Chains A and B, each alone.
Chain A
Amino acid sequence: MGDSELVVNGRATALASVPEDERLLDTLRWRLGLRGTKEGCRSGDCGACVVLVDGRSTLSCLTLTHELPGASVTTIESISEDPVGRVVQDAFVAEGAVQCGYCTPGFVVALTGLLKELPPSAPLPELLDEMQGNLCRCTGYGSIVRAIVRAREATR
């Protein structure tokens, strides 16, 4: 793979067709039709637009697509193909950690990236601390915290 493309959910995407001032969020949603990634604040404050770039959680609203040549992007649409992503999705379902659902893709992708980034020995407070970049205005977080605990137990 060269510098002229990036890979989104395993599929090569040519950069030539993408304007240089386009954000990854807009490329995903409006050019590639991947509407699972949500636009919340568009200023990096809410975490609804989080995707994985080479495995690391990234705010797609604050990232230019052209800054990622050769990178591999994973969105909510393909997260279940990742074993850890699958576990996280199952944990959110089992705990009913969804209300309106708008923030859910960001939470699931961010937690998947976090569980893969931190060692399995990482204490729960560290996980909860690192998840604070994702905001939810419905659930009151109780069910989401339970889903995080469940996913952590299942991946240790």
Chain B
Amino acid sequence: MKISEVARILNANVMTGEDKLDMEIHSACGSDMMSDVLAYVKDQGVLLTGLMNVQVIRTLLMMDMNCVVFIRGKVPPQGIVEFAEENGVVVLQTALPMFESCGRLYAAGLGKAEEGAEGINGEYGADDE
């Protein structure tokens, strides 16, 4: 699924990264706990989160993730958007809550290609190594 498709499904605003909307992503993760995200190392592309601080972007960078969706209508402060922009991370922002955001993307097929261990909703692959 292209990031542009994620944005469309979630009625999301693109805060930065318009030039990367054609990038393909194959799975997603929804969590407010960054340590849980860090425990879930797969070839994920998108993080959905209600957490809003600069560590969200650093977590994405550590994990080679390309896109963050800030949920529940929270608008990220300019500093976070700029830090994301400097590091090539796409920032989306949606009014939808976590459950519905994840549900819509899953129903649209995101993450289903990799049936099996990893889910979409903040699960982490405990036996990944």
Q: Do A and B come from one complex?
A: no
